[in-house]
Amino acid sequence: MVKQKNENYAVIGLGQFGSAICQSLVQANQQVLAVDIDEERVNEFTNIVTRAVIADAQDEDTMKELEIGSFDHVFISIGQNIQASIMATLLTKELGAKDVICKAENESHARVLEKIGADQIVRPERDMARRIVFHQLQPNIVNYLMLNDQVTMAEVKVDNPEFVGKSLNELSVRNKYHINVIAINTDGKVNLSPDANDKLKLNDLISVVGYTTDVNQFNGDAQLS
């Protein structure tokens, strides 16, 4: 078993997104500093996180006192106050934080955050909308992860009888679909090194990676017509 790495995190902004980040980190037994300008929000986390502080993340002296630059990871999850988000990000980077993950409200906000040095930028509402639409359009894809704008890793359920009993080689997975099969899950038993001669069974979950268009084509063919 791989030992979980323990690091220290700061979460600035305790709205819905920031609160969810805090809770997830605490559940993973990580050290968490929670920061918000709203006393009521901070009080909700006093007995949950390692330390909860009422503070204005736009104030440089306050950020220095919190030693924000010493944290392994800093989440800037300030909500609709875009100016506060930008200032907090700028100060956090200037104070030496190595990994700053920011929530962006829109594309313009995201571009500014990128220009001032944010290491990662997330847009939860947009990403969730994409996931919902993707699942509606590709119902046989159980799980997926977009590695970039063009490449997707997905877990595809096999329910097309024409796929059942055939090997990856017989289905010409590589040549026809241009995807790589990285695992096959059969009734909870996972084969992490699929062979070209491995035969598929009904309801197998196949983990594949490839261009999104190719993954979608494979998923469409794997479905029951």
Question: What's the pLDDT score for residue 6?
Answer: 76
What is the residue-wise DSSP string for 126-156? HHHHHHHHHHHH-TTEEEEEESSSSEEEEEE
Contacts of 112 (CB under 8 A, 6+ apart): 86
The pLDDT, as a whole number, for residue 1 is 41
Q: Is the dihedral of CA 210, 212, 217, 223 positive or negative?
A: positive
d(CA 25, CA 103) in angstroms, rounded, equals 17
Q: Which residues contact 139 (CB under 8 A, 6 or more apart)?
A: 223
Q: Are 56 and 62 in contact (CB under 8 A)?
A: yes
pLDDT at position 143 is 74
Q: For the range 121-125, what are the long-range contacts, defined as Cβ-Cβ under 8 Å and sequence gap of 24 or more?
A: 124/17
Q: Are 14 and 44 in contact (CB under 8 A)?
A: yes
The pLDDT of residue 2 is 44
The predicted structure's pLDDT at residue 70: 96
Is residue 45 classed as helix, strand or coil in its secondary structure?
A: helix
Q: Compute φ and ψ for 137, nearest 5 degrees.
A: -80, -25
Q: Could you report the average pLDDT of every consecutive run of 10 residues in the chain (225 residues)?
A: 71 95 94 96 96 96 97 93 96 96 93 95 81 70 74 88 91 91 92 91 92 88 73
Q: Which residue bears the tokens 């330390």?
A: 51
Position 139 scores a pLDDT of 64
Q: What is the pLDDT of residue 79?
A: 76
